[in-house]
Amino acid sequence: MSRGARRAGAGRGTAAVRLLVTLSLLPGVVEAQVTGVLDDCLCDVDSIDKFNTFKIFPKMKKLQERDYFRYYKVNLKRPCPFWAEDGHCSIKDCHVEPCPESKIPVGIKAGSSNKYLKEANNTKELEDCEQANKLGAINSTLSNQSKEAFIDWARYDDSQDHFCELDDERSPTAQYVDLLLNPERYTGYKGPSAWRVWNSIYEENCFKPRSVYRPLNPLAPSRGEDDGESFYTWLEGLCLEKRVFYKLISGLHASINLHLCANYLLEETWGKPSWGPNIKEFKRRFDPVETKGEGPRRLKNLYFLYLIELRALSKVAPYFERSIVDLYTGNVEDDADTKTLLLDIFQDTKSFPMHFDEKSMFAGDKKGAKSLKEEFRLHFKNISRIMDCVGCDKCRLWGKLQTQGLGTALKILFSEKEIQKLPENSPSKGFQLTRQEIVALLNAFGRCHCI
C-alpha cells in the first residue's frame, strides 16, 4: 500500500478509508513482503499502488456515492440450495435495512415503463418493455427500430454467458438496498456456519487436487500438518486457468477479511456500537509470522483480483461509450454527470500499461479449451449459489454483490468478440449487462480498489 494512498484516505468516514487507516498501522514487515511482481502476469504491486492512488481511488469513491450505483436490488431470502440452513443470524448488526420505496429514484424503480422508456407507452409491447426497463441502463428516447431491438434484448437468454446465478428482480422477496447505509463490516457472524460456507467454496470448487489433504480455507478450525507458505507448491502443478480461479477466490476472501478488520465491532456501550480497525484481527489473518508466510500471499491475491476487474472495466468501455446507454435514474443532469464520471474512469483503466492478458487463458486445443472454460464457469456459478447459504444478511449482501461483480468481470473478459460487434445506436443481442450486473461490477471493484 503506497503512503500516498494512506494520505488520500485521511479524514474520510467510509469503510474504504478505515481500511486504508488499518493498512497504515501495519507492521513494516507485512508491507515489505507485499511487493514485487505478481505471479502469472507482468504487473508489480508498486505500479498498481501508484495507479490506484492517483487515478482510480478518488473517482471510484465519487462514483459509488451516485444514486445509480448506491441502490442494489438483491434477494436475501433465497433458500440455500445445498444444505439445510442453520437459521439466520440473530445478531442485530447482521440485519440489512431495506430501502423504503419512497427513497428509490424514480428511474431505478421497477414498474411503469414510462419511467425508463418514455416512448414505450406507444407500443403494444408493454409487458416486454416492463421486463426490459429493469435494466435501467438504456436511453429514454429510442427509435422504433431500437425499441424492437430492445425488446428482443430483454427476451434474450444469455444464461450460457453468465458466471453467476442472478437474482430474479421480479421476485416479491427481492428488495432494494442502499449500499451506503449498509456498509460491509464485521458483525459477529462466525463459527461453524461461516466456516461451512468457505469450506464448500475452497474444497469443492477451487480445483483442489486429491493429493492435497490440508484444508484450503485459511481459517479452517483444523488444518492438520500446517507447513505455511511452502504448502502452496501444489498450485504450481495446476494449469494457468485453475491457478487464476484459486487466486481470484483467495483475493475475494482477502478483500472481505480486510474490510471486516477495517470496520470491526470494537465495543458496545449503552446500545451504541463502536466500529474501527482491529489490528490484532488483521495480524491473525495476514501477518507473515502468525500465518507462517501465507498472509502476504493472500494480500497479493487481492492485487491479482484488482488486476482482473481493472482489465474487465477497460474491455467493457465500448459498451458504455455508445450514445444509447444512459445510467438512468430519472434525474437527467445527475445521470449525465454520472456517465461522464464513469467514462472518465474507463479512460483511466485503458491507460494502465500492465494489464492481465486474458487471451493466455483457454488457449489450448479448441475442444479442450471449451470444456475447461465451461468447467471454470460452472465452478464459479456454483460459488455464487453458495452465497445464498450465508446466515448473516449483511454478509450475504456483500458476498452476493462481490461474487456477482467478479462474475460480471469474467463474463466481460470472455465476451470480447461480442463487445467488438456492438451496434452504436441499438441494443445488442450478443452482449448485454443488466443494471444489477453493472452496479455489482463497479461496487465489487470499489471493494478492492482501496487496497
Mark the binding-site residues, compressed into ranges. 185, 187, 198, 250, 253, 285
Fill in the amino acid letter for 430. Answer: G
Closest CA to 327 of 139, 115, 58: 139
CA gap 45, 30 in Å, rounded: 13
Active-site hit among 43, 94, 129, 392? 392
For β-strands 272-276 and 264-269, DSSP reports them as: antiparallel
* CB-count exposure of residue 365 (10 Å: 0-12, 13-18, 19+): exposed
For residue 115, give the DSSP letter: G
User: How many Cβ atoms from other residues are within 10 Å of residue 356's Cβ?
Assistant: 22
411-449: buried (b, 16+ CB within 10 Å) or exposed (e) per residue?
bbbbbeebbeebeeebbbebbbbbbbbbbbbbbbbbbbb
CA gap 36, 45 in Å, rounded: 6
CA gap 266, 21 in Å, rounded: 15
What are the φ/ψ torsions at residue 276 (nearest 5 degrees)? 180, 180
Closest CA to 328 of 73, 141, 60: 141
- Whether 395 sits among the annotated catalytic residues: the reply is yes
Give strand pairing partners of 74: 175
For residue 292, give the DSSP letter: T
For residue 357, give the DSSP letter: -
What's the full length of the chain, in residues? 451
Contact in structure between 74 and 175 (CB atoms under 8 Å):
yes
For residue 55, give the DSSP letter: I
Closest CA to 188 of 47, 120, 92, 88: 92
Closest CA to 199 of 165, 223, 169: 223
Active-site hit among 89, 94, 129, 395? 395
Alpha carbon distances (Å) from 325 to 69, 340, 426:
15, 12, 9
Binding-site positions for FAD read 185, 187, 198, 250, 253, 285
C-alpha cell at 386: 453458495
Residues identified as active-site: 392, 395
